[in-house]
Structure 1
Amino acid sequence: MSGPDEPRSTTTLPKAHLHLHFTGSMRISTLRDLADKHGLRLPEALLAAWPPHLSGMDERGWFRFQRLYDAARACVRDEDDMRRIVREAAEDDAAEGSRWLEIQVDPTSYAPHLGGLTPTLEIVLDEAEQASKDTGTGVGVVVAASRLRHPLDARVLARLAVKHAGEAPGSVVGFGLSNDERRGITEEFGKAFDIARHGGLASVPHAGELLGPAAVSGTLDSLAPDRIGHGVRSVESDVVLQRVVDSGVALEVCPGSNVALGVYREPDEVPLERLLDAGAQIALGADDPLLFGSRLVAQYDSARDDHGLSDRQLADLARSSIRASRAPSDVKKRTLADIDDWAS
């Protein structure tokens, strides 16, 4: 328990986690177990000096990041693997004070081993529902299309996502667009996002980490996002940053990702304070703990240690994450009250 002059534990701060990728959520021990189970050999970077040294700001660096991610994804081969990842993600978030988790998955990546897109997604949703009951952390699912695939594939995923849309844990709550934002044409995915939005899903594409403010502006124009994954580089344009603030679009800021991929050299260079000072709505996220080596609490600790945020400001960040989430209204109300208790 904290003394009167000690900072409160960020682990006990109630919060929501809105930016976590399915494969990237894995514990390194789990990945190694799955590789042994299926007789697969992992790259040395996932066996020895973990977390690996990464960079994403040039083609060579991104290729290395993608190669490691693909190697990890290749170890997920059956229903038990899928269920284990969802359950452990919920357990890890529950241990870090997260009351609501939105885990992002592209079923396309796992469908060949599990009989197709629909059964793959249904496994994830079923385990999300059960893990929510068992851990007390509600788990919603974001279905994400890949920029590396044809926009027509994204429409297929959007229609599948809408069929499983809902507000309760174990439902699809959003539709995303992930992978290297330097690939593909954002506008061409607009139809898929229209399908998802009309089906009641949140629009949560990635933009503004590897590319600058023009990518954020283009995403605002073509995909009508409710939230933007990352979006940190909107600070490079006063006009774009003001658009983000005026639109009320929340930014899923992932400091560990930004530093690991070389977007910023040091944690204190992540423009968290600039975004907050401008009035942007922020939800901190861990993105891919498997490769970046840090989970959700580490992002709050960085906000405190590297940016000097007070407990009051950390509580505001937690409130923002809850309000930006698709958690059921009763979960939001209860969690916001618990944040007030933590802050007081």
Structure 2
Amino acid sequence: MKDPRTLPKAHLHLHLTGSMRPDTLAEWAARDGLDVPEPLPPDRVHGWADFQARYDTARAVVRSAGDIARLVREAAAADAADGAGWLELQVDPTSYAGRLGSTEAVVEAVLVGVAEAPIPVGVVIAASWGAAPEHAERLARLAVGFPGVVGFGLSNDERLGRVGDFAAACQIAAEAGLRIVPHAGFYEPAAHVRDCVELLGAHRVGHAVTAVRCADTLGLLAERRVAVELCPTSYPPLGVGWDLSALLAAGVPVALGTDDPLLFGVGLAGQYQIARGLGCDDPTLAGLARDSIVHSAAPEGVRAALLAGVDDWLAAD
């Protein structure tokens, strides 16, 4: 069996704060006199509040534009070591605007890190499902004003908002050529995934694990070639079921991601190793890598090179 670390791939589901290295977290927490959050205990299922509390503590150690740029560089370096040749990094600039002075300053800091990263990086600007629709529209307008921003998403707990309320924000982004990549179908039923496709025009859907409960929703994703960003290590700690084989059997494109490796402890190559443990052979892993590349916003030259690399990986002895 081939090493998944050497398989060329794209990483399409990674949050800026959740990408933080544990040693960076410890360094910055010590700098600011803050306690390092404990990992989620593995012996029980956790609620969203447990996850969010640890995420918020990690976010609190990020103090400056330089910190944000460093996060981007380190996230890209980790992915490069795991075989990624393209990264799409998701950030809600509202999270850091109070420290940097504006949402624009946050995006500018992210783009400084992008320019210094070891692999090409596209930025996804995300609004929270819990935000007012007007706020999401402001972030969508912010997103379209920056070269280097490739997508617009909706993150956080999907139960906090209604899908239709964010149609206008997604339309603003889509009309400017950005990918629409909301989180959906984590806690909410398959209809939530369908609504994100039909009402928001989603090009990809983050998680979408409940889609497997509805054949019609699986058929919609397969027919419209809407990729699911599946993050295997995100689900067991939160008691959420997931089924990679059902998605693949239905013909749904799947791109493996890490979501928040700071909290869940597994990098990108590790997600492919988990898929292998579920019975995915080398051709299937190569297919997952191809889906990640084809459904990315990477420039055509980057895509072509990565796809050729997948073929070479599969053909090598």
Question: Into which bin does the TM-score normalised by the smaller protein fall?
Answer: over 0.9
- Equivalent positions of 1:1-344 (< 5 A) are 7-43=1-37, 45=38, 50-53=39-42, 55=45, 61-131=47-117, 135=118, 137-165=119-147, 171-264=148-241, 270-305=242-277, 307-344=278-315
Q: Indicate the SS of the match to 1:174.
A: strand
Deviation string, structure 1 residues 76-99 (Cα, Å, up to 9, x no partner): 111221111111001000000000
| Contact 2:71-2:113 at 8 Å conserved across structures | no
Aligned counterparts of 1:295 and 1:31: Cα–Cα separation in 2: 16
Q: Which amino acid aligns with 1:35?
A: A
| Contact 1:51-1:290 at 8 Å conserved across structures | no
TM-aligned CA deviation for residue 42 of structure 1: 3.1
Question: What percentage of residue pairs aligned between the two structures are identical?
Answer: 49
Deviation string, structure 1 residues 279-330 (Cα, Å, up to 9, x no partner): 000100000001111111111001111x211101111110110000000000
| Contact 1:52-1:291 at 8 Å conserved across structures | no
Q: Indicate the SS of the match to 1:100.
A: strand
Aligned counterparts of 2:186 and 2:150: Cα–Cα separation in 1: 23
Q: Structure 2-normalised TM-score?
A: 0.96
Cα RMSD of the aligned pairs, angstroms, is 1.2
Aligned counterparts of 1:215 and 1:76: Cα–Cα separation in 2: 33
Q: Indicate the SS of the match to 2:160.
A: coil
Aligned counterparts of 2:269 and 2:198: Cα–Cα separation in 1: 33
Aligned counterparts of 2:76 and 2:98: Cα–Cα separation in 1: 25
| Unaligned segments of structure 1, at least 5 residues | 1-6, 166-170, 265-269
Q: Indicate the SS of the match to 2:116.
A: helix
Q: Indicate the SS of the match to 2:125.
A: strand
Aligned counterparts of 1:55 and 1:89: Cα–Cα separation in 2: 27
TM-aligned CA deviation for residue 63 of structure 1: 1.0
Q: Structure 1-normalised TM-score?
A: 0.89
| Contact 1:19-1:286 at 8 Å conserved across structures | yes
TM-aligned CA deviation for residue 211 of structure 1: 1.6
Q: Specify whether residues 173 and 55 from structure 1 end up closer, same or farther in structure 2 by C-alpha distance, changes over 3 A only.
A: farther
Using the TM superposition, name which of 94-103 and 72-81 deviates more. Answer: 72-81
Deviation string, structure 1 residues 34-68 (Cα, Å, up to 9, x no partner): 1111222234x2xxxx4544745xxxx11111111
Q: Which amino acid aligns with 2:136?
A: A
Aligned counterparts of 1:55 and 1:229: Cα–Cα separation in 2: 21
Tell me the number of residue pairs that the alignment of Structure 1 and Structure 2 aligns: 314
TM-aligned CA deviation for residue 260 of structure 1: 2.2
| Unaligned segments of structure 2, at least 5 residues | none
